[in-house]
Structure 1
Amino acid sequence: MIHFCLAHMAYHLHCWLPRSRRLRLPRSSRYCRQPLLTNLVGNIIFTFFTIGFSVLLTQMEPVPQALKRIFAVFGVGSFGEGVCTMVLTVLATDCEKTTPELYYLSVLLSVSSLVSTVLFSGLGLIWLGSVACAQPDTKPMV
């Protein structure tokens, strides 16, 4: 309900201001050719899924196989979203002048995606090494 309350208050505060005092952004100078805003909306949607998975994974004991599979699909989607964020940010260097807040947020999300990808790649390699080098338990024959 807090989100509704904040939006409601913002609307009413905006209406109380005289029209001459309201903030207006020049549309032609605040334009970015890359869809960074759309990508940011995708990141926000992934954030909501992250919150949901965090709650589910910490509350369920044991975690069902179906949830583990869905979480793996979510991981692949999250990787794809990170790659899209990095590519769009690299292509959007002109947006640094027109929409700097959006551009720098995209840079931050790109760096965060890159760091988490490197982290999980390293963990995956360590896991693969432990599986490949594991010696089977041998029991003496009696």
Structure 2
Amino acid sequence: MFYSICSQIVNAVFAALVLLPQFYVMASPKSSRYCRQPLLSNLSASIALSFIATGFSVVFTLIDSVPQSLWASYHVFGILTCGQGLCTAILTLTAAACAKTTPELYYMSLILTIASIFSTGFFMVRGGLWLTNRKHVTEASRNNEQ
């Protein structure tokens, strides 16, 4: 029970830290100025994905035994989020002129790009370690069968 309450508090704090700056930039009058790249639309997609990620974290802390279908949807969401991070990086790299017209929007996009790069690197390392561990477990079970 204590773990569940603590994890919900941590989820709420992280959701606030992620969503509040995005909403601030979205509501900023400067963000509606013209920018050649669709950074505002990209920010809207980022906000939507942040809400979905928050939902997944809440569900995963409330359910003891997570169904396989939920894990599958979480992995599809991860691939979708990785693709959106790639789009954010491309849009940000090609929107240097937007730093003058929509500075908050540009810098938020830059922050989201950096966060996406770190997140992708983290999950690539974690996935590589998982595959390595899985290979060792598979080889050990084959050796036990002989």
What TM-score comes out, normalization by structure 1 length?
A: 0.75
Q: Spell out structure 1 runs of 4+ moving beyond 6 A.
A: none
Q: Distance in 1 between matches of 2:128 and 2:78?
A: 16
Partner of 1:52: 55
Structure 2 gaps of 5+ residues are 1-28
Partner of 2:127: 124
Question: What are the superposed Cα offsets for residues 61-82 of structure 1, whole Å, 9 maximum, x if unpaired?
Answer: 1001111111111111111110
Cα distance change, pair 80–67 in 1 and its aligned pair in 2 (3 A): same
The letter for the 2-side match of 1:64 is P
Q: Distance in 2 between matches of 1:130 and 1:139?
A: 19
Partner of 2:115: 112
Structure 1 position 82 matched with structure 2 position 88:
no
Equivalences for residues 1-142 of structure 1 within 5 A? 30-134=33-137, 135-136=140-141, 138=144
- 1:139 deviates by 7.0
- 1:133 deviates by 2.8
Q: Distance in 1 between matches of 2:53 and 2:125?
A: 21
Question: What are the superposed Cα offsets for residues 86-142 of structure 1, whole Å, 9 maximum, x if unpaired?
Answer: 0000010110111111000000000000000000001111111112233226279xx
Q: Which is higher, the Rg of structure 1 or of structure 2?
A: 1
Q: Distance in 2 between matches of 1:132 and 1:66?
A: 24
Question: What are the superposed Cα offsets for residues 1-39 of structure 1, whole Å, 9 maximum, x if unpaired?
Answer: xxxxxxxxxxxxxxxxxxxxxxx87x8xx3110000000
Q: Distance in 2 between matches of 1:62 and 1:133?
A: 25
Cα RMSD after superposing both structures: 1.9
The letter for the 1-side match of 2:126 is L
Q: Distance in 1 between matches of 2:64 and 2:130?
A: 23
Q: Distance in 1 between matches of 2:145 and 2:120?
A: 40
Structure 1 gaps of 5+ residues are 1-23
Q: Distance in 2 between matches of 1:45 and 1:76?
A: 15
Q: Distance in 1 between matches of 2:63 and 2:135?
A: 30
